[in-house]
Amino acid sequence: MTDDRTTHWDNRYAGAEPQSLSWFEAAPALSLRLIGQAAGPEASVIDMGGGASRMPDALLEAGYKDITVLDLSAEALALSRAQLGERAAAVDWQVADVTHWQPARRYDLWHDRAVFHFLTDAGDRAAYARALNSALAPGGTAIIMSFADDGPERCSGLPVQRYAPEDLVEEIDRLLPGLFEVKETGRFAHMTPGGAEQRFQYTVFQKRAGTG
Ligand SMILES: C[S@@+](CC[C@H](N)C(=O)[O-])C[C@H]1O[C@@H](n2cnc3c(N)ncnc32)[C@H](O)[C@@H]1O
């Protein structure tokens, strides 16, 4: 239901102040740490479902030069571009639904904060996995952050699939058997602008060298 999804997210972002959205994070410190541990500024990075986050700004500040932000909401990307001003020209912006996206190239690093957990349909998760496999270079790293098993049951009015780190590892291995080595897992709490705590997990996967 790509069209319904797109409408939902466009409505969510249209006219919104990014800092008022429940998933707003002033500085993506954990993401930057995990990205920096995996790959230096010469790496190509895709922020999957990047929305209007501060991630492209933070990556540019950290010296990354090959940055792609993909989101199904053109409204989200318009907000993200506006936040960057002239520096937006340094980023590749792609409006697409990950479950239908056919990547035209490969990336060293895939970052997903709070996107995979919206895929409550098994077919959509399989499509996400196909996109992940074709977009990620062998040896590359995928960082997936989702609501944890003790996190909220909904986000932005939509149901989510929650994961303990080991559940996410199991699901990704079921979808892409043997493709990844797990480098790190952990949990963290996100404080929404309204002061609510949301429990997340993160997992860092490295695609094995020599895979397709
Ligand atoms: C909770 S927000 C998180 C945004 C951003 N990653 C962050 O941390 O601020 C989820 C984002 O995923 C995007 N999204 C949801 N489903 C998607 C899909 N199937 N393909 C691409 N983007 C999607 C939404 O438009 C939204 O921007």
What's the number of CA atoms in the CB half-sphere (13 Å) around residue 10? 13
Residue 143 near residue 109, CB atoms below 8 Å: yes
Q: What are phi and psi of 141, to 5 degrees?
A: -120, 135
Phi-psi sector, 149: left (phi>0), alpha (psi -120 to 50), beta = alpha
> Which residues fall within 8 angstroms of residue 61, CB to CB, at 6 or more apart?
none
Ligand 1 residue neighbourhood (C-beta within 6 Å):
5, 9, 23, 49-51, 53, 71-73, 76, 97-99, 113-115, 118, 155-156
| Parts of the chain with a pLDDT under 70 | 1-2
Residue 112 near residue 143, CB atoms below 8 Å: yes
Q: Distance between CA atoms of 73 and 188, rounded to whole angstroms?
A: 26
165 CA to centre of ligand 1 in angstroms: 20
Q: Distance between CA atoms of 127 and 100, rounded to whole angstroms?
A: 7
User: What is the model's pLDDT at position 210?
Assistant: 87
User: What is the model's pLDDT at position 3?
Assistant: 85
Q: Which residue has its alpha carbon closest to ligand 1 atom 23?
A: 49
Nearest to 29 by CA among 149, 188, 182, 174: 188
User: What is the model's pLDDT at position 136?
Assistant: 98
Point out the ligand 1 atom lying closest to the alpha carbon of residue 53.
Answer: 9
User: What is the model's pLDDT at position 1?
Assistant: 60
The string of pLDDT tens digits covering residues 191-211 is 999 999 999 999 999 999 988
What CATH number was assigned to the domain covering residues 2-207?
3.40.50.150
Residue 82 near residue 54, CB atoms below 8 Å: no
User: What is the model's pLDDT at position 168?
Assistant: 98
> Which residues fall within 8 angstroms of residue 8, CB to CB, at 6 or more apart?
156, 157, 158
**Domain assignments of the chain as residue spans, ordered by start:** 2-207
16 CA to centre of ligand 1 in angstroms: 15
